[in-house]
Amino acid sequence: MNLEILAYPFIFAAIYFEAFFLVTLLSAPAVASRKRTASTNTPMVAMIVPCYNEEQTVSGTAESLLALDYPKDKLRIVLVDDGSTDGTASIMDSFAHHENVTVIHQKNQGKHVALNAGIAAAEDAELIGCLDADSFVDASALREMIGGFDDGRVAASTAAMSVHTPRTILERMQNAEYIMGIACRHILAAVNGIYVTPGPFSLYRRDVVVELGGFRNGHNTEDMEMALRIQKAGYAIESAPLARVFTKTPRTVPALVKQRTRWTTGFLRNMLNEYRDMVGNPQYGALGLLVLPLGFLAILGGIMMFFLVIYQLISQGIQMLMITSGVPVAYTLSTMVPTFANASWFYLPVSIFALLGFVALAGSILFMVVGKNISKTPAQLSVGVIAYMLVYGLIAPFWLLFSVADVATDNRRAWK
């Protein structure tokens, strides 16, 4: 039996998802969203920065908030120290002299509790922004996001995240992925299919968050849980592709795997427990019928493709070793290196599997380019795209496997 057949449903789903994205990108709501200019409205906004042991970055985060192009009397900055054990608390206190900055100290209770403390301290705010303490907003980001709230159904808006000064291959790979995420959220917003309001920077209507009971732990993914709760309550989530925010990302493979394991585990636990009824439910439109089911399929497909590739490599390796055993290695190597003499289109290894895989990969690259263009993110994509193509597939299966194992065994990992 040719095991490639097992991969076809997942490749079909990937291409279908990309085709849906492309069609939606060109549809009227998405076009209108891209034409939207920065708002001149200035509702009262509170920017909340929950923080635990971020002494390296919190200062830059606060500085970027102070530099926002927004009237100071309409902008409150709430820095919440969630019981940090490093120098975070004193750094936060050094910003307390700013008229519109409030610093809150609490014992360590988790990010969601810190966010709720910030919301409670900003009673006069119409909108609340949540910004991770390792992220830095562009000066125009807030104005870009506010326009989305002109529609009364909109309860939240997401920003255009990319990696802050990506240098290493791993950071550049994540940058390409994040920039693709900008395009994805922009497109999904057109059909109200966003299922996560990312922590680095998202803006919420305060009364809706309060009405829904504030942030919860949400299986260590409070941003995803809040977005799902907003969707379940019948509100909409917008996306502002020009609201640029730059965030720090894991710099080592184990750290990246740990972060993504938390994200994926959070998705699975939310989906299998509190929000199970949303999956496949036509009441939630694109989110229920397409986005959430494909989330499951992506996890399953990622794991299956990984094992399939491993199996193929091992079985072909063994077969090759058996066939070539006894024949000088130099001859075998010479037959493996293509030369002009034996180069011919006749031997092109073109198969249905390879071509469909190529189409799916080309689609991903297309959305990276779209994400960069619609957000005008200043990024050098080429290295990141190459790294994404070559490295991502080698690392992702690990966090997918760890996540499935954690959910299956009810293993709870610490956030940090």
Partner 1 sequence: MSLFTRNALIALLITVAIIGTVLYAVNFLNQQRVAELRSIEDQLATDTLSIETQFALLEEAPCEDIAAGTISQEVGGVGDKLAYAEERAGANDPEVLRLKERYTLLQIRDYLLTKRLSETCGVNPVVALYFYSNVPGECEECDRAGYALSYLRQTYPALRVYSFDYHLDLAALRTFISVLKVHDGEFPAFVIQGKPSYGFTSLEDLEKAFPKSLFATSTTKASQ
The residues of the shown chain that bind partner 1, judged by CB under 8 A, are: 12, 15-17, 19-20, 22-24, 27-29, 190-191, 193, 285-286, 289-290, 319, 322-328, 330-331, 346-348, 350-352, 355-356, 359
Counting Cα atoms < 13 Å in the Cβ hemisphere of 154 gives 24
Q: Could you count the other beta carbons within 10 Å of the beta carbon of residue 152?
A: 9
Distance CA 114, CA 91 (A): 17
Distance CA 390, CA 226 (A): 34
Alpha-carbon 312 to chain mean position: 31
Nearer CB in complex with partner 1: 313/362: 362
- To the nearest whole angstrom, how small is the minimum distance from the Cβ of residue 407 to partner 1? 29
* C-alpha angle 412-414-415 in degrees, rounded to nearest 5: 120
Q: Measuring CA to CA, how many Å separate 92 from each of 56, 84, 337?
A: 12, 11, 60
Counting Cα atoms < 13 Å in the Cβ hemisphere of 304 gives 15
- To the nearest whole angstrom, how small is the minimum distance from the Cβ of residue 6 to partner 1? 16
- To the nearest whole angstrom, how small is the minimum distance from the Cβ of residue 396 to partner 1? 23
- To the nearest whole angstrom, how small is the minimum distance from the Cβ of residue 328 to partner 1? 7
Strands (E), 44-116: 45-51, 75-82, 101-106
Query: Tokens at residue 150, please?
Result: 């002109």
Instruction: For residue 322, count CB atoms less than 10 angstroms from its CB and return exposed for 0-12, middle for 13-18, buried for 19 or more.
Output: exposed
Nearer CB in complex with partner 1: 47/183: 183
- To the nearest whole angstrom, how small is the minimum distance from the Cβ of residue 384 to partner 1? 26
Nearer CB in complex with partner 1: 282/378: 282
Nearer CB in complex with partner 1: 40/346: 346
- To the nearest whole angstrom, how small is the minimum distance from the Cβ of residue 187 to partner 1? 10
Nearer CB in complex with partner 1: 192/270: 192
- 115-146 burial, b at 16+ Cβ within 10 Å, e below that, comes to bbbbbebbeebbbbbbbbbbbbbbeebbbbbb
Task: For residue 195, give the amino acid letter.
Answer: Y
Query: Tokens at residue 245, please?
Result: 């925010």
Nearer CB in complex with partner 1: 12/415: 12
- To the nearest whole angstrom, how small is the minimum distance from the Cβ of residue 274 to partner 1? 24
Query: Tokens at residue 268, please?
Result: 């699975």
- To the nearest whole angstrom, how small is the minimum distance from the Cβ of residue 223 to partner 1? 24
- To the nearest whole angstrom, how small is the minimum distance from the Cβ of residue 18 to partner 1? 8
For residue 407, what is the enclosing H or E element? helix 393-409
Nearer CB in complex with partner 1: 91/290: 290
The values of phi and psi at residue 190, to 5°, are -65, -25
Nearer CB in complex with partner 1: 29/280: 29
What is the residue whose two structure tokens read 């992925």? 177
Nearer CB in complex with partner 1: 90/351: 351
Q: Are 291 and 184 in contact (CB under 8 A)?
A: no
